[in-house]
Amino acid sequence: MENFKFSYTLFLFCFLTFELCNRGELRKNFYRTSCPHAEQIVQNITWKNAASNAALPAKLLRMHFHDCFVRGCDDSILIDSTTNNTAEKDAVPNRSLAGFEVIDEIKTQLEQTCPGKVSCADIVALAARDSVSFQLDMSMWEVLTGRRDGIVSRDSEAVAEIPSPFSNFTTLKQSFASKNLTVKDLVVLSGAHTIGMGHCNLFSNRLYNFTGKGDADPSLDAAYAATLRSQCRSLSDNTTTVEMDPGSSLVFDNRYFWTLLQGQGLFQSDAALLTNNIANGIANEMLIFGKFLTEFSQSMKRMATLGVLTGKAGEIRKKCSVVN
Ligand code: HEM
Ligand SMILES: *[C@@H]1O[C@H](CO)[C@@H](O)[C@H](O)[C@H]1NC(C)=O
Ligand SMILES: *[C@@H]1O[C@H](CO)[C@@H](O)[C@H](O)[C@H]1NC(C)=O
Ligand SMILES: *[C@@H]1O[C@H](CO)[C@@H](O)[C@H](O)[C@H]1NC(C)=O
Ligand SMILES: *[C@@H]1O[C@H](CO)[C@@H](O)[C@H](O)[C@H]1NC(C)=O
Ligand SMILES: *[C@@H]1O[C@H](CO)[C@@H](O)[C@H](O)[C@H]1NC(C)=O
Ligand SMILES: *[C@@H]1O[C@H](CO)[C@@H](O)[C@H](O)[C@H]1NC(C)=O
Ligand SMILES: *[C@@H]1O[C@H](CO)[C@@H](O)[C@H](O)[C@H]1NC(C)=O
């Protein structure tokens, strides 16, 4: 009996510690000993690419967001579809996702330097931060590391989890709440739309046929709507793209909030932020650039920990586009 008790306690202890070891956590410079130059390699290759492609920060920032919102930040976004599975990459909200080749270039270098050590999920998180930081020449938010790569990627999940640009405030709030993100995170992170491009058909209902009577969205600034109509010539134009923050779409500033508050947010999901008093108040606070930078870095840090796999969960993918 005593013997049984002892073995049982031992078993419980091992089980518990195994669980603890297994769970692990993200931490600063996770690769300090296993791949000391990992973060510098990511930054060097990202900056080299950002220097020749000013659109890259928007691509990598959006990739990071889409990755984290579906199955957590586990790099499921990079997995290619197979004959039996349509992956997130090929879901409708993926349109215009890009920058995959930069992640591949980084991964190839890291596999040469320290094979099997650095996850694709960490590369995406680091490269997003580094690409946005390139212009301001500083590290804009802290990225903890130690993520592991997932082995599942489904288009249906991307369709369900990625918020639509036609969403109202209630839907956006719920979407973020389901990721443990607050209304403040929602408003602050929407400030990412200060860089990048949007396709006409994702907002042209606001220009041409908002309520089915050939009308425009009354909440959209009339002069801005006219400018947009000159760029997006029809309701069904799904090829033309426009700057989300006109004249400043390559610069990570806080102009998004200035234009948003003038009724010039591009998507209904942008305009929706003004329909709630609390969100509207936060948008106003973001007019101070320093405040926006501080809040953005905190919200990004939260988003970057969503549903991460750590410890022994998942795997370290050899190639980011295929599970091992
Ligand atoms: C709040 C809910 C959000 C909605 C409904 C939304 C929707 C969209 C849509 C429809 C586009 C245009 C895609 C295209 O036409 O190709 C876009 C672009 C973009 N989004 Fe969001 N987004 C949201 C939140 C975020 C967040 C949280 C981030 C990052 C932190 C982000 C970063 C970006 C970036 C950087 C682009 C530009 C991509 C490019 O230039 O290719 N978005 N978003
Ligand atoms: C990164 O780039 C810097 C400057 O070009 C260079 O001095 C450094 O050796 C590079 N580091 C790595 C790890 O590639
Ligand atoms: C697809 O499914 C079939 C039948 O279940 C299986 O034989 C095949 O190996 C699968 N292919 C891949 C690439 O997983
Ligand atoms: C996104 O999905 C479409 C199919 O819906 C596919 O044709 C396209 O190549 C995908 N884009 C990327 C970047 O994978
Ligand atoms: C917001 O959109 C959802 C989904 O389309 C809808 O069910 C809901 O009634 C809308 N809420 C408001 C306040 O318009
Ligand atoms: C949100 O928090 C709850 C409670 O702490 C946790 O169970 C859940 O997994 C979290 N969701 C995400 C997406 O991180
Ligand atoms: C505008 O919407 C209405 C109602 O959905 C539809 O009958 C009409 O054909 C649309 N007009 C255009 C130009 O698409
Ligand atoms: C754009 O619209 C055309 C015509 O409606 C359609 O055939 C095509 O698949 C659409 N392309 C995308 C990327 O949605």
Cβ atoms of 304 and 143 within 8 Å: the answer is yes
> What is the pLDDT at residue 98?
82
Structural domain includes residue 143 = yes
What letter represents residue 288's amino acid?
I
Alpha helices in 149-264 (DSSP H): 155-161, 169-177, 183-190, 205-208, 222-231, 255-260
Query: Among the three residues 161, 180, 210, which one is the final residue of a domain in this structure?
Result: 161
Structural domain includes residue 242 = yes
Q: Residue 141 and residue 211: Cα distance in Å, rounded?
A: 41
Sign of the C-alpha dihedral, residues 25, 118, 128, 170?
negative
Is residue 238 in contact with ligand 8, taking CB distance under 6 Å? yes
Q: Which two tokens stand for residue 111?
A: 């596999």
Q: Name the residue among 249, 238, 140 with its Cα closest to residue 193.
A: 249
Q: Is 74 annotated as ligand-binding?
A: yes
> What is the pLDDT at residue 229?
97
Q: Residue 185 and residue 306: Cα distance in Å, rounded?
A: 13
> What is the pLDDT at residue 5?
52
Is residue 264 in contact with ligand 1, taking CB distance under 6 Å? no
The single-letter DSSP state of residue 191 is G
Is residue 97 in contact with ligand 4, taking CB distance under 6 Å? yes
Q: pTM for the whole thing?
A: 0.91
Is residue 89 in contact with ligand 4, taking CB distance under 6 Å? yes
Structural domain includes residue 1 = no
Protein residue with least CA distance to atom 1, ligand 2: 44
**How many domains does the chain fold into?**
2
> What is the pLDDT at residue 94?
59
> What is the pLDDT at residue 1?
47
Residues with CB under 6 Å of ligand 5 are 168, 170-171
Query: Among the three residues 161, 177, 194, which one is the final residue of a domain in this structure?
Result: 161
Q: Name the residue among 110, 111, 108, 146 with its Cα closest to residue 125.
A: 146
CATH no. for residue 176? Answer: 1.10.420.10
Structural domain includes residue 277 = yes
Q: Are residues 132 and 190 in the same domain?
A: no
> What is the pLDDT at residue 18?
44
Q: Are residues 118 and 189 in the same domain?
A: no
> What is the pLDDT at residue 313?
96
Q: Is 270 annotated as ligand-binding?
A: no
> What is the pLDDT at residue 100?
93
Mutate to test the pocket of ligand 7, among 209, 213, 236 (most ligand atoms within 8 A of CB): 209
Residues with CB under 6 Å of ligand 7 are 209, 212, 235
Structural domain includes residue 7 = no
Is residue 153 in contact with ligand 4, taking CB distance under 6 Å? no
> What is the pLDDT at residue 91?
79
What's the domain range around 258? 169-303
> What is the pLDDT at residue 24?
64
Residue 64 is among the residues annotated as catalytic for this protein: no
Q: Are residues 145 and 61 in the same domain?
A: yes
> What is the β-pairing status of strands 241-243 and 197-199?
antiparallel
The single-letter DSSP state of residue 79 is P
The single-letter DSSP state of residue 158 is H
Q: Residue 293 and residue 304: Cα distance in Å, rounded?
A: 16
> What is the pLDDT at residue 121?
97
Per-residue pLDDT of the chain (324 residues; tens, 9 = 90+): 455 454 454 444 444 444 444 446 899 999 999 999 999 999 999 999 999 999 999 999 999 999 999 999 999 989 988 888 888 888 766 567 889 999 999 999 999 999 999 999 999 999 999 999 999 898 999 999 999 999 999 998 888 899 999 999 999 999 999 999 999 999 999 999 999 999 999 999 999 999 999 999 999 999 999 999 999 999 999 999 999 999 999 999 999 999 999 999 999 999 999 999 999 999 999 999 999 999 999 999 999 999 999 999 999 999 999 999
Q: Residue 67 and residue 305: Cα distance in Å, rounded?
A: 11
| Ligand with the closest atom to the CA of 236 | 8
Structural domain includes residue 236 = yes
Structural domain includes residue 46 = yes
Protein residue with least CA distance to atom 1, ligand 5: 168
